Amino acid sequence: MTTPTPSPTSQLTHLQRLESESIHIMREVVAEAEKPVMLYSVGKDSAVMLHLARKAFYPSPPPFPLLHVDTTWKFKAMYELRDRMARESGMELLVYQNPEAAARGINPFDHGGLHTDMWKTEGLKQALDKYGFDAAFGGARRDEEKSRAKERIFSFRSANHRWDPKNQRPELWNLYNARKAKGESIRVFPISNWTELDIWQYIHLENIPIVPLYFAAKRPVVQRDGLTIMVDDERFRLRPGEVPEMKSVRFRTLGCYPLTGAVESEATTLPQVIQEMLLTTTSERQGRAIDHDQAASMEKKKQEGYF
Amino acid sequence: MSVTTTQTSSYQTDALIAADIDAYLLQHQHKSLLRFITCGSVDDGKSTLIGRLLYDSKMIFEDQLAALEADSKRVGTQGQNIDFALLVDGLAAEREQGITIDVAYRFFATEKRKFIVADTPGHEQYTRNMVTGASTADLAVILIDARKGVLTQTRRHSYLAHLIGIRHIVLAVNKMDLIGYDQEKYNAIVADYTKFAASIGINAFTPLPISGFMGDNITSRSANTPWYGGPTLMEHLETVELDVTADQQKPFRMPVQWVNRPNLDFRGFSGLISSGTVRPGDPIRVLPSGKTSTIARIVTIGGDLEQAVAGQSVTLCFADEIDCSRGDVICIADAPAEVADQFETVIVWMADDSLIPGRPYWLKLGTQTVTATVQAPKYQVNINTMEHMAAKTLELNAIGVANLATDRPIPFEPYATSHTLGGFILIDKITNATVAAGMLHFALRRSQNVHWQALDVSRETHAVLKNQKPAVLWFTGLSGAGKSTIANLVEKKLVRMNRHTFLLDGDNVRHGLNKDLGFTDADRIENIRRVGEVAKLMTDAGLIVITAFISPFRAERQMVREMMAPGEFIEIHIDTPLADAEARDVKGLYKKARSGALKNFTGIDSPYEPPHTPEIRIDTAKLTPGQAADLIIERLIP
Q: Band of the pLDDT at B344, cuts 50, 70, 90?
A: very high
Residues B73-88, mean pLDDT to the nearest whole number: 62
Same domain for B192 and B319, yes or no, is no
CB A262 within 8 A of CB A228: yes
pLDDT of residue A109: 87
Name which of A175, A192, A295 is nearest B364 (Cβ-Cβ).
Answer: A175
* Amino acid present at B520: T
User: How many angstroms separate the CA atoms of B127 and B398, rounded?
Assistant: 8
Q: Is B304 on the interface with A (CB under 8 A)?
A: no
Choice among A87-91, A109-113, A175-179 with the minimum mean pLDDT: A109-113
Residues A120-149, mean pLDDT to the nearest whole number: 87
Last residue of a domain, one of B174, B209, B239: B239
Name which of A166, A170, A173 is nearest B420 (Cβ-Cβ).
Answer: A173
User: How many angstroms separate the CA atoms of B563 and A264, rounded?
Assistant: 80
- CA nearest B143: which of B219, B205, B59? B205
pLDDT of residue B537: 92
More confident residue, B336 or B520: B336
Q: Is B116 on the interface with A (CB under 8 A)?
A: yes
- Whole-angstrom CA distances from B177 to A52, A163, B183, B573, B606 are 48, 42, 12, 89, 85
Select the residue from A150, A172, A201 to test the B interface by mutation, using most B Cβ atoms within 10 A: A172
Does residue B466 surpass a pLDDT of 60? yes
Same domain for B167 and B22, yes or no, is yes
A281 and B30 within 8 Å at the Cβ level: the answer is: no
Phi-psi region of B180 (alpha: psi -120 to 50; beta: other; left: phi over 0): left
More confident residue, B631 or A293: B631
Smallest CA–CA distance from B100 into chain A, residue: A150
Phi and psi angles of residue B307, each rounded to the nearest 5 degrees, phi first: -165, 150
B61 and A2 within 8 Å at the Cβ level: the answer is: no
Does residue A8 surpass a pLDDT of 60? no
Q: Band of the pLDDT at B222, cuts 50, 70, 90?
A: very high
- Cα four-point dihedral sign A79, A82, A86, A89: positive
Q: Band of the pLDDT at A292, cuts 50, 70, 90?
A: very low
Q: Is B244 on the interface with A (CB under 8 A)?
A: yes
Phi-psi region of B477 (alpha: psi -120 to 50; beta: other; left: phi over 0): left
pLDDT of residue B23: 82
B136 and A1 within 8 Å at the Cβ level: the answer is: no
Judged on CB neighbours under 10 Å (0-12, 13-18, 19+), A198 is buried
Same domain for B370 and B402, yes or no, is yes
CB A277 within 8 A of CB A200: yes
Highest mean pLDDT among A63-67, A275-279, B440-444: A63-67
A3 and B90 within 8 Å at the Cβ level: the answer is: no
Q: Band of the pLDDT at B6, cuts 50, 70, 90?
A: very low
pLDDT of residue B219: 86
- Tell me what percent of the residues of chain B surpass a pLDDT of 90: 49
Q: Band of the pLDDT at B599, cuts 50, 70, 90?
A: confident
- Domain membership flag for residue B536: yes
User: How many angstroms separate the CA atoms of B421 and B368, rounded?
Assistant: 10
pLDDT of residue B295: 97
Q: Note the pTM of the prediction, 2 decimals.
A: 0.75
Residues B576-599, mean pLDDT to the nearest whole number: 86
Helices (H) and strands (E) in chain B, counts: 20, 28
Same domain for B110 and B232, yes or no, is yes
pLDDT of residue A299: 53
Cα three-residue angle B493-B496-B498, rounded to 5 degrees: 120
Q: Which of B47, B72, B479, B551 is catalytic?
A: B551
Same domain for B197 and B277, yes or no, is no
Beta strand B379-381 with B399-412 is antiparallel
Q: List B residues 385-414 in contact with A (Cβ-Cβ < 8 A).
A: none
Q: How far is B60 from chain A (nearest CA, A)?
A: 8
Smallest CA–CA distance from A1 into chain B, residue: B302
Residues B223-237, mean pLDDT to the nearest whole number: 94
Q: How far is A185 from chain B (nearest CA, A)?
A: 12
Q: How far is A298 from chain B (nearest CA, A)?
A: 10
Same domain for B595 and B629, yes or no, is yes
User: How many angstroms separate the CA atoms of B122 and B46, rounded?
Assistant: 9
Of all helices (H) and strands (E), which one includes residue B490? Answer: helix B483-496
Query: A with B: how many residue pairs have Cβ under 8 Å apart?
Result: 210
CA A64 to chain centre: 17
CB B186 within 8 A of CB B200: no
Same domain for B428 and B515, yes or no, is no
Q: Is B71 on the interface with A (CB under 8 A)?
A: yes
Can B275 be counted among the known catalytic residues? no
pLDDT of residue A301: 57
The overall average pLDDT reported for chain B is 85
pLDDT of residue A11: 74
Residues A33-49, mean pLDDT to the nearest whole number: 95
Same domain for B189 and B301, yes or no, is no
By residue range, what is the domain housing residue B590?
A: 459-636
Select the residue from A1, A146, A283, A301 to test the B interface by mutation, using most B Cβ atoms within 10 A: A146
Q: Is B277 on the interface with A (CB under 8 A)?
A: yes
Highest mean pLDDT among A62-66, A138-142, A288-292, B540-544: A62-66
Does residue B52 surpass a pLDDT of 90? no
Same domain for B431 and B285, yes or no, is no
pLDDT of residue B19: 77
Contacts of B487-494 spanning 24+ positions with Cβ under 8 A: B487/B546, B487/B547, B487/B548, B489/B625, B489/B626, B489/B628, B489/B629, B490/B546, B490/B629, B490/B632, B490/B633, B491/B546, B493/B629, B493/B630, B493/B633, B494/B544, B494/B633
Q: Band of the pLDDT at B236, cuts 50, 70, 90?
A: very high
Residues A129-144, mean pLDDT to the nearest whole number: 91
Does residue B2 surpass a pLDDT of 50? no
Q: Is A294 on the interface with B (CB under 8 A)?
A: no
Residues B500-504, mean pLDDT to the nearest whole number: 92
Name which of A1, A3, A201 is nearest B28 (Cβ-Cβ).
Answer: A201
B367 and A28 within 8 Å at the Cβ level: the answer is: yes
- Domain membership flag for residue B426: yes
- Domain membership flag for residue B84: yes
User: How many angstroms separate the CA atoms of B596 and A168, rounded?
Assistant: 66
Name which of A59, A195, A197 is nearest B299 (Cβ-Cβ).
Answer: A59
CB B312 within 8 A of CB B287: no
User: How many angstroms separate the CA atoms of A177 and A154, rounded?
Assistant: 7
- Whole-angstrom CA distances from B565 to A210, B405, B559, B591, B634 are 70, 22, 12, 40, 22
Q: Is B303 on the interface with A (CB under 8 A)?
A: yes
Q: Band of the pLDDT at B88, cuts 50, 70, 90?
A: low
Q: Band of the pLDDT at B188, cuts 50, 70, 90?
A: very high
Residues of B with Cβ-Cβ distance to A272 under 8 angstroms: 21
Which positions ≥6 away from B107 have C-beta within 8 Å? Answer: A142, A143, A193, A195, B59, B114, B115, B116, B117
- Domain membership flag for residue B246: no
pLDDT digits over B295-310, tens only? Answer: 999 999 989 999 999 9
Q: Is B323 on the interface with A (CB under 8 A)?
A: no
Task: For residue B195, count other CB atoms closer than 10 A to its CB.
Answer: 10
CATH number for the domain including B421? 2.40.30.10
Which positions ≥6 away from B415 have C-beta within 8 Å? Answer: B165, B346, B422, B423, B439, B440, B441
Last residue of a domain, one of B278, B313, B332: B332
Choice among B111-125, B256-270, B538-552 with the minimum mean pLDDT: B111-125
- Domain membership flag for residue B409: yes
Q: How far is A130 from chain B (nearest CA, A)?
A: 24
User: How many angstroms separate the CA atoms of B164 and A50, rounded?
Assistant: 34
B262 and A272 within 8 Å at the Cβ level: the answer is: no
Name which of B17, B28, B315 is nearest A279 (Cβ-Cβ).
Answer: B17
Q: Band of the pLDDT at B59, cuts 50, 70, 90?
A: low
Does residue A126 surpass a pLDDT of 90? yes
Name which of A16, A31, A192 is nearest B312 (Cβ-Cβ).
Answer: A16
pLDDT of residue A151: 78
Q: How far is B361 from chain A (nearest CA, A)?
A: 12
A272 and B272 within 8 Å at the Cβ level: the answer is: no
- Tell me what percent of the residues of chain A surpass a pLDDT of 90: 61
- Domain membership flag for residue B620: yes
Same domain for B320 and B342, yes or no, is no
More confident residue, A116 or B66: A116
Q: List B residues 554-583 in contact with A (Cβ-Cβ < 8 A).
A: none
User: How many angstroms separate the CA atoms of B149 and B136, rounded?
Assistant: 28
Q: How far is A2 from chain B (nearest CA, A)?
A: 5
CATH number for the domain including B113? 3.40.50.300
Q: Band of the pLDDT at B456, cuts 50, 70, 90?
A: low
Does residue B592 surpass a pLDDT of 60? yes
The tally of domains found in chain B comes to: 4
pLDDT of residue A164: 78
* Amino acid present at A260: T
- Tell me what percent of the residues of chain A surpass a pLDDT of 70: 86
pLDDT of residue B110: 84
Last residue of a domain, one of B332, B367, B396: B332
pLDDT of residue B24: 81
Same domain for B486 and B589, yes or no, is yes
Q: State the DSSP code for B336.
A: P
Same domain for B226 and B271, yes or no, is no
Helix, coil or strand: residue B550: coil
Residues A46-61, mean pLDDT to the nearest whole number: 96
CB B154 within 8 A of CB B193: yes
Q: Is A103 on the interface with B (CB under 8 A)?
A: no
pLDDT digits over B415-437, tens only? Answer: 999 999 999 999 998 889 999 99
B433 and A169 within 8 Å at the Cβ level: the answer is: yes
- Whole-angstrom CA distances from A294 to A254, B60, B511 are 21, 19, 67
Torsion of CA B352, B358, B362, B367, to 10 degrees: 120
- Domain membership flag for residue B244: no
pLDDT digits over A160-217, tens only? Answer: 888 877 778 889 999 999 998 888 899 999 999 998 889 999 999 999 999 999 999 9
- Domain membership flag for residue B453: no
